[in-house]
C-alpha cells in the first residue's frame, strides 16, 4: 500500500476526519537518520501527525512544524509538513536505546520524558503562530489530543502508531485525527466516543490490511461519512547546497575565517535528511567575501 492520507466529513459536517498510512516514508526517514527502534517509533508518529496537520493548512506555501522537546534521552523530535503531502523530520538523538516498557512495547514516553509540545504554523505573516502545551504523556497522540483541546479548543481524538519487524524495518505506520466541529450534538459525541473506545491500535488495523479509508469507515461508516480528498504522502527535504551556503554565511565572519584558516574542506549535513554537503576552502573564501560585502 502506497503512502497516502484521506480527508472526510461525517455526521452532517459536525465531524472532520483524517487518516494516513506512512510506512514507506517512515522507512526512508529511519534509513536517512539510522534511527534506533524507539527513535524510529517517535519520529514515525511525529511525521504521520505532521503530514495530516500540514494538510489542514490553506496556502500553497504554508508550513506546519510539530516539535517535541523533553528531558528524556531522545531529547526531542521535529517534523515539518506542507499541504502537498510532503513531510520531513529528525530526532535529536537518533541512536538512543532504552528498555521496553511494562507492556513490552517501545517506550516512546520514557525516551521523550517531561517537556513541551509546540505547533508552529507559518502562513507567510510577519510572525508565525505558535501554540505550546506541556506534554501529558510523551506518547505524542495523547499530547496532540490535549493540544487541540487547549490551544485550538477543538475536541479531537488522535491515534498514531509505528510497528517494527524483528529486523527493524517498518511493518506498519499511520494514524488518524478525528475532530468535532462547534455545535456537534451530544448523541453524535456519545456515539463517536463509544467507537473510539472500542478501537484496536492503529498499527493492528493497518497490519490486518485496512487502508486509511477502511479505518475511517470502521469508525464513522454509519455516521454519513463522506470522503473529500486523497493525498499522496512522501518524505521530502528541500535542502540544497545553496541553502546550506546561506546558512554558513549567516554564522558570521569570525567563524568562516576560522574554517578557512584550518585549511581543510568542511562537511555540513542537513538536519532533516542527513545529506552531506562538502565545501572546499575556496568556496569558504567566496562565502567570506559575501559576508563582508553585506
pLDDT tens, 191-210?
A: 999 999 999 999 999 999 99
Architecture of domain 4-235: 3-Layer(bab) Sandwich (3.55)
The CA dihedral of 64, 16, 213, 234, to the nearest 10 degrees, is -10
Give the whole-angstrom CA distance, residue 10 versus residue 266.
54
Q: Are 147 and 117 in contact (CB under 8 A)?
A: yes
pTM for this model (two decimals): 0.92
Architecture of domain 241-292: Alpha-Beta Complex (3.90)
Distances (CA, A) of 145 to 138, 139, 149: 12, 11, 6
Backbone angles phi, psi at 36, to 5 degrees: -70, 165
Instruction: Count Cβ atoms below 10 Å from residue 4 Cβ, excluding itself.
Output: 20
Strands 76-81, 86-91: parallel, antiparallel or unpaired by DSSP? antiparallel
Q: Are 168 and 40 in contact (CB under 8 A)?
A: yes
**Domain boundaries defined on the chain:** 4-235, 241-292
pLDDT digit string, tens, across residues 232-289: 999 999 899 998 988 888 887 888 888 899 888 999 999 899 899 999 989 988 888 8
Buried b (16+ CB within 10 A) or exposed e, 149-177: eebeeebbbbbbbbbbeeeeebebbbbbb
Give the whole-angstrom CA distance, residue 81 versus residue 289.
35
Q: Per-residue pLDDT for the chain (294 aa), expressed as one digit of tens each? A: 899 999 999 999 999 999 999 999 999 999 999 999 999 999 999 999 999 999 999 988 899 999 999 999 999 999 999 999 999 999 999 999 999 888 888 899 999 999 999 999 998 888 898 999 999 999 999 999 999 999 999 999 999 999 999 999 999 999 999 999 999 999 999 999 999 999 999 999 999 999 999 999 999 999 999 999 999 999 999 899 998 988 888 887 888 888 899 888 999 999 899 899 999 989 988 888 887 876
Q: Do domains 4-235 and 241-292 have the same CATH topology?
A: no
Give the whole-angstrom CA distance, residue 203 versus residue 75.
25
Give Dmax over CA atoms of the chain in angstroms. Answer: 71
Instruction: Please report where in the chains the cell 532504552 appears, as a residue.
Output: 98
Amino acid at each position: 500500500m502506497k503512502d497516502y492520507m484521506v480527508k472526510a466529513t461525517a455526521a452532517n459536517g459536525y465531524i472532520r476526519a483524517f487518516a494516513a498510512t506512512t510506512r514507506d516514508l517512515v522507512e526512508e526517514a529511519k534509513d536517512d537518520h539510522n534511527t534506533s527502534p524507539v527513535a524510529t517509533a517517535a519520529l514515525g508518529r511525529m511525521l504521520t501527525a505532521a503530514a495530516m496537520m500540514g494538510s489542514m493548512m490553506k496556502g500553497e506555501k504554508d508550513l506546519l512544524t510539530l516539535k517535541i522537546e523533553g528531558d528524556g534521552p531522545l531529547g526531542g523530535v521535529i517534523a515539518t509538513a506542507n499541504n502537498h503531502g510532503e513531510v520531513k523530520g529528525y530526532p535529536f538523538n537518533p541512536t538512543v536505546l532504552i528498555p521496553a516498557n511494562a507492556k513490552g512495547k517501545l517506550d516512546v514516553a520514557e525516551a521523550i520524558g517531561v517537556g513541551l509540545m509546540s505547533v508552529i504554523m507559518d502562513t507567510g505573516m510577519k510572525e508565525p503562530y505558535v501554540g505550546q502545551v506541556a506534554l501529558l504523556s510523551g506518547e505524542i497522540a495523547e499530547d496532540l489530543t490535549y493540544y487541540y483541546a487547549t490551544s485550538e479548543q477543538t475536541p479531537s481524538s488522535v491515534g498514531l502508531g509505528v510497528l517494527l519487524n524483528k529486523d527493524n524495518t517498518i511493518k506498519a505506520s499511520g494514524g488518524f485525527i478525528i475532530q468535532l466541529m462547534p455545535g456537534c450534538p451530544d448523541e453524535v459525541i456519545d456515539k463517536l466516543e463509544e467507537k473510539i473506545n472500542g478501537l484496536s491500535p492503529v498499527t493492528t488495523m493497518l497490519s490486518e490490511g485496512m487502508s486509511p479509508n477502511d479505518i475511517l469507515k470502521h469508525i464513522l461508516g454509519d455516521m454519513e461519512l463522506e470522503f473529500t480528498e486523497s493525498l499522496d504522502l512522501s518524505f521530502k527535504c528541500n535542502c540544497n547546497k545553496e541553502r546550506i551556503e546561506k546558512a554558513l554565511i549567516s554564522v558570521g565572519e569570525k567563524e568562516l575565517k576560522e574554517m578557512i584558516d584550518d585549511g581543510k574542506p568542511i562537511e555540513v549535513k542537513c538536519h532533516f535528511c542527513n545529506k552531506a554537503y562538502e565545501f572546499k576552502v575556496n568556496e569558504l573564501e567566496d562565502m567570506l567575501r559575501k559576508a563582508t560585502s553585506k
